[in-house]
């Protein structure tokens, strides 16, 4: 099939490349000329394991093309995916849909034969209706159908999540579009993905409700971890104990720092905005947002306690600063709150991240990037494992730190408290 992905950010690029790998003829479009020129040279704008190889392979095979010409790309495609950003508006919980609407207008100028227009961007309920209205201003209704097809790709696992999704959600009441899309996704359905055809509005809400539910699960276990710390219970035992109940499920029950990333914070807020506009109370999600926003304060208080209320001049190392492992994404990372706070209190901070130095900390006095674990940890008083990268999982810290009585605060519960005790390492985890 001939596909066009508009927006070569995370969703558009990963989905476009994966569709090309399934044998489709895909054009990835972006208005950013340098991004497109780089992609033609297989220079990838994001960090995602496996993506560069897949881009190279499919570009070479001619199944994947890159372009800045939206009009031409729309004209030659049967299915057009809108994959642009929907960030939170400034000082508000509302999603900014301006990019989606601009793209819809551009598409409408270039429809000469039947097109399926898919909204893959995460958009509030009713956005599909609005996109349809915009296109209908220029195009006869029988020449297009607007479908919602949300993505469920996790950063760092995006290719696997694309190829082996739990489900494919298609929001449309147009029978012929549904048939074509079922066919497009048939290689994934045959591998076990559930195909769900539903209304467009339901598909839009499924995306938000999924992310809100997962954010709730993480927040729930983080709060239970707070309780475990007070009662000398290991949160891992509780996560296993409740997660084995099939009604609950064991995934997304790892306690840690506040959740972050490009989706959970933004999408929970946008859902609250939708609730407000429809005068509906979503008190659970409101509580989740508030609890998560306060989580860094709780962890900072614990750091203060671990250091006997003496943060000033303490050498603190952060291992990993992105919001989670296998991504270079700093968006809403808990480190953005914790590092400046500790820096303000007079700590001397070094950090190492496998994805390199971060602009967010460049201007902070006494926050230094080190390009390896050893230099970051040497002579530190406190090592904080903030992100669960594999390279942090088997560290011989005594050898690396070269200082007596250093403390390890393992915010991802990678290490066993018993083993640390045996090695005489002062160890703190989350919820244990």
In the complex, the residues that contact ligand UDX under the rule CB under 6 A are 151-155, 211, 214, 218, 252-254, 256, 259-264, 323-324
Give the nearer residue to ligand UDX in terms of CB position, either 122 or 343. Answer: 122
What is the smallest separation between the CB atom of 263 and ligand UDX, expressed in angstroms? 3
DSSP secondary structure code for residue 372 in this structure = S
The answer for residues whose C-beta is within 8 angstroms of residue 146's C-beta and 6 or more apart is 117, 118, 119, 128, 131, 132, 135, 172, 200
- CA 399 – CA 426 distance, rounded (Å): 15
b or e along 136-159 (b: 16 or more beta carbons within 10 Å of the residue's beta carbon)? eeebeeeebbbbbbbbbbebbbbb
- Give the Cα separation of 235 and 231 in Å (integer): 10
Q: Which is nearer to ligand UDX, 151 or 410 (CB)?
A: 151
Q: Which residues contact 297 (CB under 8 A, 6 or more apart)?
A: none
CA angle 333, 319, 315 (to 5 degrees): 105
Distance CA 193, CA 186 (A): 9
Question: Is the Cβ of residue 218 or residue 282 nearer to ligand UDX in the bound state?
Answer: 218
Provide the b/e sequence for 216-233 (b: ≥16 CB within 10 Å). bbbbbbbbbbbebbeeee
The contacts found for 373-376 with CB under 8 angstroms, 24 or more apart, are 373/319, 373/400, 374/400, 375/350, 376/317, 376/318, 376/319, 376/350, 376/351, 376/352
The least CB distance from residue 401 to ligand UDX, in Å, is: 25
- CB count in 10 Å sphere of residue 367: 21
Interstrand relation of 348-352 and 167-171 (parallel, antiparallel or unpaired): unpaired
Would you say 95 or 400 has its CB closer to ligand UDX? Answer: 95
Helix locations, 25-83, DSSP H: 33-40, 51-60, 70-75
Of the pair 311, 411, the CB lying nearest ligand UDX is at 411
Active-site position among 28, 83, 263, 377: 263
Minimum CB distance to ligand UDX, residue 211 (Å): 6
Q: Would residue 18 show up in a list of annotated catalytic residues for this protein? A: no
The neighbouring-strand residues paired with 28 are: 5, 66
Please name which of 209, 204, 192 lies closest in space to residue 82, comparing C-alpha atoms.
204
Q: Is the CB of residue 79 less than 8 Å from the CB of residue 25?
A: no
The CA angle 75-76-82, to the nearest 5 degrees, is 70
From the list 314, 144, 295, 310, the residue with the least C-alpha distance to 226 is 295
Q: In this complex, which beta carbon is closest to ligand UDX, that of residue 152 or of residue 415? A: 152
Least Å distance between CB 253 and ligand UDX? 6
| Closest distance to ligand UDX from the beta carbon of 256 (Å) | 4
The residues with which 348 forms a beta bridge, in sequence order, are 315
Nearer to ligand UDX by Cβ, of 319 and 425: the residue is 319
134 vs 411 by CB, closer to ligand UDX: 411
Nearest residue (CB) to ligand UDX, 121 versus 274: 121
Beta bridge pairs of residue 352: 319
| Residue 157 C-beta: closest distance to ligand UDX, Å | 7
Distance (Å, whole) CA 418 – CA 395: 16
- Among all residues, which ones are annotated catalytic? 263
């Amino acid at each position: 099939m001939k596909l066009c992905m508009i927006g070569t950010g995370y969703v558009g690029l990963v989905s476009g490349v994966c569709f090309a790998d399934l044998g489709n003829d895909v054009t990835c479009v972006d208005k950013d000329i340098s991004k497109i020129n780089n992609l033609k040279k297989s220079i990838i704008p994001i960090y995602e394991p496996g993506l560069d190889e897949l881009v190279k392979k499919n570009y070479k095979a001619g199944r994947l093309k890159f372009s800045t010409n939206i009009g031409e790309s729309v004209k030659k495609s049967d299915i057009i995916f809108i994959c642009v950003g929907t960030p939170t508006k400034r000082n508000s919980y509302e999603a900014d849909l301006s990019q989606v609407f601009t793209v819809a207008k551009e598409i409408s100028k270039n429809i000469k034969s039947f097109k399926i227009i898919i909204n893959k961007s995460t958009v509030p309920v009713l956005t599909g209706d609005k996109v349809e209205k915009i296109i209908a201003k220029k195009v006869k209704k029988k020449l297009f159908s607007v479908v919602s097809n949300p993505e469920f790709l996790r950063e760092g696992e995006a290719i696997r999540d694309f190829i082996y999704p739990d489900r494919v959600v298609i929001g449309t009441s147009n029978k012929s579009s549904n048939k074509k899309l079922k066919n497009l996704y048939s290689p994934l359905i045959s591998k076990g993905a559930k195909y769900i055809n539903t209304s467009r509005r339901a598909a839009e809400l499924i995306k938000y409700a999924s992310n809100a539910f997962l954010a709730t699960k993480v927040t729930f276990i983080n709060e239970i971890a707070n309780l475990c710390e007070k009662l000398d219970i290991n949160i891992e035992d509780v996560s296993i104990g409740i997660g084995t109940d099939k009604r609950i499920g064991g995934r997304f029950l790892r306690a840690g720092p506040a959740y972050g990333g490009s989706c959970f914070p933004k999408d929970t807020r946008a859902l609250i905005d939708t609730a407000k506009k429809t005068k509906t109370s979503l008190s659970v999600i409101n509580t989740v947002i508030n609890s998560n926003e306060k989580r860094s304060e709780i962890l900072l208080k614990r750091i203060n306690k671990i250091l006997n209320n003496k943060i000033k001049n303490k050498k603190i190392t952060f291992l990993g600063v992105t919001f989670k492992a296998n991504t270079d994404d700093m968006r809403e990372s808990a480190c953005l709150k914790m590092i400046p706070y500790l820096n303000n209190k007079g700590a001397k901070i070094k950090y190492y991240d496998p994805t390199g130095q971060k602009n967010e900390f460049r201007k902070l006095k006494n926050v230094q990037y080190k390009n390896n674990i050893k230099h970051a940890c040497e002579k530190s008083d406190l090592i904080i494992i903030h992100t669960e990268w594999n390279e942090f999982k088997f560290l011989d810290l005594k050898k690396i730190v070269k200082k007596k009585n250093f403390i390890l605060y393992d915010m991802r519960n990678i290490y066993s408290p018993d083993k640390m005790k045996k090695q005489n390492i002062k160890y703190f985890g989350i919820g244990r």
